[in-house]
Structure 1
Amino acid sequence: MRKPLRLLLGSGILAAALLGTAVPAQAAGTVVLSAGHVDVVDLAYEDGVLEIGVHDETVEPDVEREVDDVIFLVRNAAKTTVPDDPSFGFLGATGKPVWILPEIQNEELIWPGIATEEIENGVFTADTVTLKFEKVTGSGRFAIFTENAVGSPNVLVDSGDGLPDALPLTTGTHQHTSWAFQKAGVYLIKVRATAKLAATGQTVTSEPAVYKFVVQP
């Protein structure tokens, strides 16, 4: 069952995260993840159901978690500034603060992955599942992007130019991208996955999942 934001606020978990004070590792069934390798979006197809979960590799052994049970903490170590390069304008004005969980691992931060490794090839048409970012509620813009060998960005999701944004994913794979937040605060990111069954042509759609990110000042 999805935990209403007011209950999380009332528990003090989000407030503690925002203020940078001690955050309980687990409280009222909620886990706060702040560093290490996490497949933030972990897609699976089981018993005819397309599912969205979280694969937490910050613990040993690694565990699967429900999206509703996790708060992702973006530490202030993620704070940087927007480069003096027009191609990064989707992050904001040059020199302004931006918080980035980078696609190249920084051990102080969450290393966000997107995984379809649990979905076998041949299940979906063209071995593709589409992750749709439907809504972002928060303090500022949110974006997902990658950078090529010379540092030029490829923008995959940008709440600043309107949503939904659709991100096609190849089944049986795992990838890392940069997740960027324009301002400190709380972000709720609603996603849903869809795919077409190769055998029947039927479209299957997951239940929506709402991710909770807390970005420290």
Structure 2
Amino acid sequence: MRRLLIGLCALLLTPTSAFAQGDLEQKIDEGQAVVAGRTVLSEGHVDIGPRFVDGRWTLLVHDDQAKADPDGESVWRPTDHTVLQVRDQAILQIPDDPNYAFLRGTPGDDVFVVPQTQDPEVVWVGWNTQDPEVMETIDRGVTMTMTGVEGPGSLVVYLQSGDFAEPDVLWDSEGKPEPVWVDVNTHTHANWVFSKPGVYLVQVKIEAELVDGKTVSDTQVLRFAVGSKTSTDEAFTAAFRETPRAAASTPAAATAESSGGVPHGVLLGIGAVLLAVGFAFVLARGRGAKRRART
């Protein structure tokens, strides 16, 4: 709790802190390597995003942590070769606030949170549409949908915009799939809240219309080992078996407000930190995003 309170105060005192803002304003270089081989990512900056691999539209994991090495460069990794480990340092408590009733637990219950704002002790998971070939090839943006989740508990992914705005739920493992619209040249982070420790398999579909009129799509499974005692080996070997759920009858999409004239897209980077009565719940900074109905 002391760590959470210190972190909360630091964020309140530095609303434009470099770690919350600078990493969002990234540029992905052309030709970054796609690296196979089992890898566990338990801290540092990670995105999921589309890439063309041998001409095929593919959802991959973009590992930015490799840049921490003196000669390191960011790389892309196959989803089935990558486990995102959410250690016990991610444990926070559900706030006593009706705005967070969608988390379904009791105020004060422990949950595992991959936050929208970077915590150096927790893997920081977002998404991007910034690969150079992707930006040149897709028309306007992509649609991402969480089509299924297997795990011991629930998963909710939501955005929190600035000025203590209400949370904006993007995905809920106990609800129907909601397509989320992502503009080209976008880099976004959100809050990922897991209700219990264990292995979670999260199936994500990403599709786009290309400038030549063709449509591309890929579906991959993200592997999470939630809790420090959860076996990462088990996360690698687990098989996704759930039948994809029916799509929502009125699908919604998240789109971003324009910021500074970024071509064809936005960077979500202004966030919020909320303090519930008796509990600290570190929420993230990201530029404001809103839901809109797809036509």
Bigger Rg, which one = 2
The interval holding the TM-score normalised by the smaller chain is 0.7 to 0.9
When normalised by structure 1's length, the TM-score is: 0.79
Give the 3-state SS of the residue equivalent to 1:68 in structure 2.
helix
Aligned length: 185
When normalised by structure 2's length, the TM-score is: 0.59
In 2, the alpha carbon distance for the partners of 1:71 and 1:140 equals 18
What do residues 29-67 of structure 1 show as CA deviations (whole Å, max 9, x unaligned)? 32111011111x121246653211111111232221111
**Equivalent pair of 1:91/1:98 in contact (CA under 8 Å):** no
What do residues 114-154 of structure 1 show as CA deviations (whole Å, max 9, x unaligned)? 011015546333x1201111110001111111112133211
Higher share of residues assigned strand? 1
**Equivalent pair of 1:146/1:177 in contact (CA under 8 Å):** yes
Report deviation, 1:214. Answer: 0.9
**Equivalent pair of 1:98/1:182 in contact (CA under 8 Å):** yes
Query: Quick one: which of 148, 151, 155 aligns to 1:138?
Result: 151
Give the match for residue 210 of structure 1: 221
The letter for the 2-side match of 1:113 is G
Query: Quick one: which of 50, 58, 74 aligns to 2:65?
Result: 58
In 2, the alpha carbon distance for the partners of 1:109 and 1:37 equals 9
Residues 196 and 47 of structure 1, relative CA distance in 2, 3 Å threshold: farther
Q: Which runs of 5 or more structure 1 residues have no equivalent in the other structure?
A: 1-27
Report deviation, 1:98. Answer: 1.1
The letter for the 2-side match of 1:154 is D
Give the match for residue 125 of structure 2: 112
Corresponding position: 1:149 with 2:157:
no
**Equivalent pair of 2:114/2:192 in contact (CA under 8 Å):** yes
Residues 191 and 76 of structure 1, relative CA distance in 2, 3 Å threshold: same
Corresponding position: 1:159 with 2:173:
yes
Q: Which runs of 5 or more structure 2 residues have no equivalent in the other structure?
A: 1-35, 229-295
Question: Which 4+ stretches in 1 moved above 4 angstroms?
Answer: 119-122
Query: Quick one: which of 79, 82, 87 aligns to 2:91?
Result: 79
**Equivalent pair of 2:46/2:123 in contact (CA under 8 Å):** yes
Residues 140 and 77 of structure 1, relative CA distance in 2, 3 Å threshold: same
Provide the aligned C-alpha RMSD in A. 1.9
Corresponding position: 1:36 with 2:44:
yes
